[in-house]
Structure 1
Amino acid sequence: MTDTAAPLLEEPNPFMRHVGAEMVDWGPDFVRFELPLAPFLMNRYEIPHGGVYASLLDTAMGYSGCYTGDADNKKLGMTLSMNVQFLSQPKGTKLIAEGRRTGGGKRTFFSEATITDETGEIIATGTGVFRYRG
């Protein structure tokens, strides 16, 4: 988590906005998104579709490596590979995705992310490799 409550420099990407995710914290090597659960996110079992988890993990991992602190100097990351582990189902009403850049270099970075709910239930985890664009 970031040490200061700096204003967020970007809105989530259009897809994340469309599903209702909100970026609530972003700083060097870290990001946090929150997504209230809604009926349109559910699968036939009435739990969130696995693609919701995968999308949240992918987005959190990508943003975690792209913070610059300067709205005019954006960094963009493109997913090269991603692994997802589905561990549980939510007990609460909100998904919380936290991504952390774990390493990398000038052109490629590595990241991991966890999805929990507001009860602390660990829902899914992911790891990924990303390439900086532009």
Structure 2
Amino acid sequence: MKTSLLEGPSAALAHLGIEMTGWDHGVARFEATVAPFHLNRSEIPHGGIYATMLDTTMGYAGAYTGDPDQRRMTLTLSLNISYLSRPKGTRLIAVGRRIGGGAKTFFTDGRLTDETGELIATAQGTFRVRS
């Protein structure tokens, strides 16, 4: 994955400590180090953190243009997440891939792991390119 066109985080992502670490045609990667403010009552990251990371990375997977002057914005139409495990490590890694669709609507798959390779969650999404 390319790193030359990485974007800085939005205000929401910066607040959560989530950063883009890879982006190319049809694929994006975001990462975050688990922090105390990510944890729920069970002392594991809240599922909403996983959902935010997966939603973001899958939307970006369909937004790559290869040209920083031609930004493509996307809107989530549907998001389905399966929570499978909890992290064994301390770094969350979300990878989203565009798997089909057309010029305006596209479909994605996402996987959230940690640095040990533990599969934490998977997701599928449908997104629309904003005009």
TM-score band w.r.t. shorter chain: over 0.9
Identity rate of aligned residues, in percent? Answer: 55
- 1:15 corresponds in structure 2 to 12
Choose which of 93, 96, 101 in structure 2 pairs with 1:96. 93
Range that drifts further, 86-95 or 15-24: 15-24
Counterpart CA distance in 1 for 2:3 and 2:113 is 24
| 1:67-104 per-position Cα deviation (integer Å, ceiling 9, x unaligned) | 00111101011000010000000000010000000011
Q: Please give the root-mean-square deviation of Cα atoms over the aligned residues, in Å.
A: 1.0
TM (norm. structure 1) is 0.94
Q: Which runs of 5+ in 2 are unaligned?
A: none
Counterpart CA distance in 1 for 2:125 and 2:99 is 10
Q: Equivalences for 1:1-134 in 2 at 5 Å?
A: 2=1, 5-134=2-131
Counterpart CA distance in 2 for 1:69 and 1:133 is 17
| 1:83-132 per-position Cα deviation (integer Å, ceiling 9, x unaligned) | 00000000000100000000110110001110000000000010000000
Corresponding pairs, count: 131
Q: Which runs of 5+ in 1 are unaligned?
A: none
Counterpart CA distance in 2 for 1:83 and 1:116 is 17
TM (norm. structure 2) is 0.96
Classify the secondary structure of the residue corresponding to 2:92.
strand
